[in-house]
Each structure stands twice: as C-alpha cells, then as structure tokens.
Amino acid sequence: MDVLHFLFGIFGNVTALFLFLAPIITFRRIVKSKSTEEFSGIPYVMTLLNCLLSAWYGLPFVSPHNLLVSTINGTGAAIESIYVVIFIIYARPQRVKVKMLGLLTLVLTVFTIVALVSLFALEGNSRKLFCGFAATIFSICMYASPLSIVRLVIKTKSVEYMPFFLSLFVFLCGTSWFIYGLLGRDPFVAVPNGFGCGLGALQLILYAIYRNNKGAVAGGPNDTTTDDHDSVEMGLGKFQQGKQTNNTTFQSQKNGHV
C-alpha cells in the first residue's frame, strides 16, 4: 500500500508539472510582443496562491506523509511566480499593472495569515484541518476553471479549442492525485482531485464525441474564420477577443493543483 501511495505521488508530480509548464506558450508571446495584450493575469496569481497553500499543507508538521504534495506545489509556486513577475513587467495599461500588484499583495497576505495562524494558533489535527480546508477550496476553484472551455465545445460542437493531450493530462493528474489521496486516506487531497478527475474525463468524452469536427462551417453563425476569434487559455477559463493575425491558442493552467 505504501509503495502504491508513493508511486501515484510520483506520477502525479510528473503530470502536474506538464500542466504548470503549459502557459509557457502564452508568456513567450507576451515577452516577444512586450505586452500582455488582452490576456488576464488573475488566473496565474490565483494559481500561485493555490500552490502556496497546497505546498504548505503537504509539509510534515502540517500533514504527515504528504511530502510529494509539497514538492510539486512548491515547484508550481516557483513557476507561477515567474509568470506573475513577467506579467507585471509587461502589463499594459498602467492600471492593469497596479491591479496585478494589488492582487499579488492580497495573495501573499492570505498565505501569510494561513501560515501564521496554523503555526502559532493551532496544532495537531486542528492545524491539518485548517490548512486542508484552505487548500481544498482553492483547488476546486482551479479545477472548475476549464468549465468555460467545456461549455464552448458543447456550444460549437468542435474541439478546435481543446487540445487532446492537455485534456489527457488534466485527467491523468486529477486521477493520480485522487488515488494518492484515497490510498493515504486524505480527503483534502482526494476530494478536489476527484473533481479534477471527473472534469478531465468529461473533456475526453467530449473530445471523443466531437473529434471529427474541425470547426464551425465557414459563414455560419459559429464561424471562427472571421476577423475576431476567441483565444482560450486552457485551465484558466479565460477568453480573449483578438485580431486574426495570430492563431487561436489554448493552454493549461492548473494548473493543476495536487
């Protein structure tokens, strides 16, 4: 049982890393254009908070036997921090930069409060419950973020905006950490990742149903070849209206909490 628990934790680390690295495509575009254009930075800040809380929850003095949860979320926090810094540097106009700095300050404040309360006001099982609930709330919110792309797939009857391999890794990541949580009898890991497993399965089912549909019929009501198009960041549930000078991109976020 302990061996299986460890193996699923390792597999969860690998699949989650793929999800954390997926937004690199977006940030290459931001750095190249020296502008955040119409992209939203909010998902990256919230993902950072999720990773920080989850990494804290996995520490031995908070939740024993969950060190693998800390390793991947600690890595995720570092990656998301880079994304947030890049976004702030290239944020346009100035009010977007100020908003991002404010959100980052709020995220760091929330994490600091949770960490300090758990260290100095709680101990034992109470500490685990407090940190576990905090991490679980943001984990579910993150896994729920791709629901917008699911809605778009159903509406357009096309998987044009939902790449197969990213949907696959959402499923694999959620499944591996769901099983990890079950084997470790930890509901704070199992519950949110069970939700992620179900969402990933839904995406794969939709892909199987609409995989032969390459997009809306040209000139039809859902035509995607007009001057405006939707740019969707996978896992972040965010739509951007842009000019057709760039192909539609669809990236993962969720990131994936574990």
What is the tens place of the pLDDT at every residue in 178-205? 999 999 889 999 998 898 899 889 989 9
Query: What pLDDT, on the 0 to 100 scale, is given for residue 1?
Result: 64
Cα gap 9→1, rounded to integer Å: 12
With beta carbons less than 8 A apart as the criterion, state whether 23 and 83 touch.
yes
The two three-digit tokens of residue 71, written as one number: 């390793």
105 Cβ contact list (under 8 Å, min separation 6):
none
HSE value, Cβ hemisphere, 13 Å, CA-based, for 56? 27
Q: Is residue 252 part of a domain?
A: no
- Give a yes or no: residue 169 inside a domain: yes
Residue 54 lies in a domain: yes
Q: Identify the three-state secondary structure at position 241.
A: strand
Assigned domain for 107 exists: yes
For residues 216 and 69, give the distance between their C-alpha atoms in angstroms, rounded to a whole number: 41
Q: What is the pLDDT of residue 170?
A: 82
Answer whether residue 138 is part of any domain.
yes
CA pair distance 56, 67, nearest whole angstrom: 10
The answer to whether residue 121 sits within a structural domain is yes
Q: What's the rounded Cα separation, in Å, for the pair 62 and 130?
A: 10
Token pair 């949907």 is found at 167
Domain hosting 20: range is: 1-213
The pLDDT of 162-166, averaged and rounded, is 74
Q: What is the domain count for the chain?
A: 1
Higher per-residue pLDDT: 223 or 35: 35
Please report the beta strands in the chain, taking only residues with DSSP state E, as ranges in sequence order: 228-233, 238-243
> What are the tokens at 140?
């579910």
In a domain, 231, yes or no: no
CA atoms of 25 and 251, how far apart (whole Å): 8
pLDDT category of residue 211 using cuts at 50, 70 and 90? confident
Taking the whole predicted model, whether its pTM rises above 0.75 is answered as no
Give me the residue label for tokens 């960490």.
115
Residue 200 forms part of a structural domain: yes
Would you state the structure tokens that stand for residue 245, as one six-digit string?
Answer: 């000078």
